[in-house]
Structure 1
Amino acid sequence: MQLDGKVAIVTGGAGGIGAAIAQALVTQGARVVVTDLNQTSLETVATGIATSVPGAVASIAGDATSTPHIDAVIELAESRFGPVDLYFANAGIGGAPGLFASDDEWSQVIDVNVMGHIRAARRLVPEWVERGSGYFIGTASAAGLLTQLGSATYSVTKHAAVGFAEWLNVTYGDRGVRASCLCPMGVDTKLLRPDDIPDDEDARLMQRAVETAGRVLTPSEVADTVIEALGDERFLILPHPEVLEMYRHKSADYDRWLRGMRRYQQGLKEATS
């Protein structure tokens, strides 16, 4: 897809990958609406983008899992820039680590990491089918192709996000609707490196596993990979290309891969004990 003149929505746009994607899109000539729960940070991002490209960005704070908010974001994009061409379901949370996350914690992470994607697609895809074009990009994680040591909630919901984007691609790909899935490993954001790391063995394991699996990228590096992949309309967007080889090893011999992951996990635990 050529991005010049296109209209995009980016959720989770108050920092990290979302802010970097929004900036990269504007640089390519797109017009962008960014949204996030954090209104102060969101306005800072929008002001920064507008400084470089005036009139190219609008912002609206709110919950990306809320259907009324999704409607409001789309209405803002349409009124300011025109029909929405791309939707980046980028908002995400790590969730509670380990097996003993509560039902409420599971519900929250499922709502953000999965249902937010589904509700947005439910709203936009029928219109895109009528127009014969549209592009849905879900941010998942390498954890959605492999797994996430230390966090059941993150691993399970990121697998679901990959599965939903895959289903969209198969179901609507021949009707003009494109779908891709962004699956990075470590990225230098608050999700990986929060200001306050919980004093929890599983949380420490989760962070250590990501930081040692490969190079921790900047959000801008991830955004550059996203822009390149959109040009080719590739389904899997892999800022860490080694993830594909890991995925191939997993599928080639699942039991061997599981044994290797258990050894890797044990080594991390011993190193941090």
Structure 2
Amino acid sequence: MRVAQKVAVVTGGGAGIGAALATALAAAGARVVVSDIDETAALAVSARINAEHPGTTVGSGADAADTADIHALIALAERAFGPVDLYFANAGITGAPGLDVDERAWDQSLAVNLHAHIRAARILVPQWLERGEGYFVSTASAAGLLTQIGSATYSVSKHAAVGFAEWLSVTYGDQGVRVSCLCPMGVNTALLYEGRDSGDLLGAAATRAVVGAGEVLEPAEVAEIVLESIAAEQFLILPHPQVLEMYRNKGADYDRWLRGMRRYQAALLAETR
């Protein structure tokens, strides 16, 4: 798929990867609804993009996990530009470190990192099947293929996001619905450093693990890779290519991989202390 003249919705578009995706899409000729739970941030990103590419974006405050808000975003896109061609389920949260996390925190992580994707797909996929095409882009994480030292809520919800994207592709890929799943490691966003700033040893270890595993990319670099992967209709988008080798090693000998991860976590915690 080429994105020029297509209509896209980007959740979590007020900063980080989402803002970079909206910028790259507009520069490539797409029309974009920039959405974020922080309406001020979404409007600011939209205004900045429109200053360079007039009339290419509208901004909106929305909860990416709220079905009514998703309906409203799709309706906004249709009024402003036309039917939605691409949906970037990009909004995400890290979640608290450790096992002692209350049910509310679990519910929030699953809502934003997983259910937001499911709810958007339930609305859009039937429309795309009627039209014969559509593109769903899920922002998961390398943690969804490997794991996340520190946060169980993040690791579990991102694994589930990968699983849902896989299922969408298997179920509807021969009916015109394309699916891509973005699984980066370290990206220079506020989310990357939340663990370090949490005051929790496991949280700090989580940030050290990601930063130490490979290059920390800028959001604009990730956005460029995403657009290239969409053009190729590639399912798994790995801005850090070494993730694929890590994933292969995990699958080749799961017990060995788990032992290695425990050793790695112990070393990180020792360094953090």
Same fold (TM over 0.5): yes
Root-mean-square deviation over aligned CA pairs:
1.1
Amino acid at match of 1:148: Q
Tell whether 2:101 aligns with 1:80: no
Determine what percentage of the aligned residue pairs are the same residue: 61
The DSSP-based 3-state class of the residue aligned with 1:84 is coil
Unaligned stretches of 5+ residues in structure 1: none
What TM-score results when the alignment is normalised by the length of structure 1? 0.98
The DSSP-based 3-state class of the residue aligned with 2:181 is strand
Tell whether 2:157 aligns with 1:157: yes
The DSSP-based 3-state class of the residue aligned with 1:118 is helix
Map 1:100-179 to 2 at 5 A. 100-179=100-179
Runs of 4+ in structure 1 deviating by more than 4 angstroms, as ranges, are none
Q: CA deviation at 1:39?
A: 1.5
- Give the match for residue 260 of structure 2: 260
- How many angstroms apart in 2 are the aligned matches of 1:166 and 1:104? 27
- How many angstroms apart in 1 are the aligned matches of 2:60 and 2:44? 12
- How many angstroms apart in 2 are the aligned matches of 1:195 and 1:255? 27
Q: CA offsets per residue over residues 65-123 of structure 1, 9 Å max, x none?
A: 11110011000101110110000000000011111110111001100000000000000
Unaligned stretches of 5+ residues in structure 2: none
| Alpha-carbon spacing, 1:196–1:255, altered in 2? closer, same or farther (3 Å) | closer
Amino acid at match of 1:242: Q
- Give the match for residue 46 of structure 1: 46
Map 1:34-73 to 2 at 5 A. 34-73=34-73
Tell whether 2:210 aligns with 1:210: yes
Tell me if structure 1 keeps the 8 A contact 2:25–2:32: yes
Amino acid at match of 1:119: R
- How many angstroms apart in 1 are the aligned matches of 2:203 and 2:261? 17
The DSSP-based 3-state class of the residue aligned with 1:171 is helix
Tell me if structure 1 keeps the 8 A contact 2:196–2:204: no
Q: CA deviation at 1:193?
A: 2.0
Amino acid at match of 1:69: D
Amino acid at match of 2:87: Y
- How many angstroms apart in 1 are the aligned matches of 2:54 and 2:119? 31
Q: CA offsets per residue over residues 238-258 of structure 1, 9 Å max, x none?
A: 100110010011111111111
Count matched residues: 273
